[in-house]
Amino acid sequence: MDTFIQQLINGLTLGCVYAVVALGYTMVYGIIQLINFAHGEVVMIGAMVAYTVLTMLAASGLPPVFIVALAVFAAVPVCMAVGYSMERVAYRPLRRAPRLAPLITAIGISMILQHVALIIWSRNNLSFPQLIPLTTYHLGSSETSATITNVQVGIILTSIAMMAALLALVYKTRMGIAMRATSQNPQVAGLMGININQVISFTFMVGAALGAIAGVMVGTYYGIANYTMGFILGLKAFSAAVLGGIGNLGGAVLGGILIGLIEAFGAGYMGDLTNVCFLNSFLPGFANLCESNANGSLFGSNYKDVYAFIVLILVLVFKPSGLLGERVGDRA
């Protein structure tokens, strides 16, 4: 039971990060039907900028929370500028091109950003300075009960606040309604006096801002950043967006949290489930292995990156529109 609760907490934390990144994919897809594969790199740049600010100010004696806030305030505008520029320079000229062209361009942008980051921040794993002392809270009376850290609480609360802010933006503001109008019919949106280029730029910048904060959260959570970190993270968030139904905001949140949970539970239980003695109890052929190494497992938690992609494949085979994805159908 303790393991279960622990993996639930880990999964939720991870899932919140995936959800925030997945929102960036789904917003851009919703408005111009482009899968922006460079979005993962925006998250990476957010983490890198935060790393630079944190290391620069670590010894400054400023309050830790203030330094982290400064890191966020530095990462967000940088990422927004990156998001704006990639749309303006790379995707806008291809607005009327066949869909494959911007998709391949997105992969190209992703590689360019990775290598720019490699030049600026080196190829090494950069470890985040531990500014905020990690506090661990037990969720039970015993020493072995599940724990939650202050960083995890911070990530979950920040994510929920950002998702709520985004939903309010999209559903309650004039700009948000214009975003939805543009996604449904850009031509008619133009006839209403909506400058759709401005709306599309805005969408990229909002997605990038979310990505920047996700990058800071990931860096703080794992304590490490690397110029390739956006790749796997981006693919997992993309899987989450597809699982929820790409183009659907609620779907991205649901998909992100599910992928986070699946990954955590997969990592937590796969070792037990593929334990050779456990398998021996109902499958033939494991007797020798069980005798020689009773604690041996076929798969361990190092397979954690696999689950998101298994889910992606299953969704694409059995329900390509995703869990909440009716957006494809409601386009007039």
What residues line the site for other proteins (CB under 8 A)?
174, 177-178, 180-181, 184-185, 187-196, 330-332
Residue 265 bridge partners (DSSP): none
For residue 277, count CB atoms less than 10 angstroms from its CB and return exposed for 0-12, middle for 13-18, buried for 19 or more. Answer: middle
With contact defined as beta carbons under 8 Å apart, do 244 and 325 qualify? yes
Residue number, 87 or 263, with CB nearest to other proteins: 87
CA 268 to chain centre: 20
Give me 94's structure tokens: 């291809």
For residue 55, count CB atoms less than 10 angstroms from its CB and return exposed for 0-12, middle for 13-18, buried for 19 or more. Answer: middle
Residue number, 215 or 325, with CB nearest to other proteins: 325
Long-range CB contacts for residues 159-163, cutoff 8 Å, separation at least 24: 159/16, 159/17, 159/19, 159/20, 159/217, 160/16, 162/20, 162/210, 162/213, 163/19, 163/20, 163/23, 163/253
Residue number, 178 or 214, with CB nearest to other proteins: 178
With contact defined as beta carbons under 8 Å apart, do 257 and 16 qualify? yes
Residue 149 bridge partners (DSSP): 136
Question: Distance (Å, rounded) from C-alpha 199 to C-alpha 202?
Answer: 5
Residue number, 196 or 246, with CB nearest to other proteins: 196
State in angstroms the smallest separation of the CB of 188 from other proteins.
4
Residue number, 178 or 308, with CB nearest to other proteins: 178
Question: Distance (Å, rounded) from C-alpha 272 to C-alpha 93?
Answer: 52
Residue number, 147 or 197, with CB nearest to other proteins: 197
Tokens 């006839």, located at residue: 191
State in angstroms the smallest separation of the CB of 332 from other proteins.
5
Residue number, 191 or 317, with CB nearest to other proteins: 191
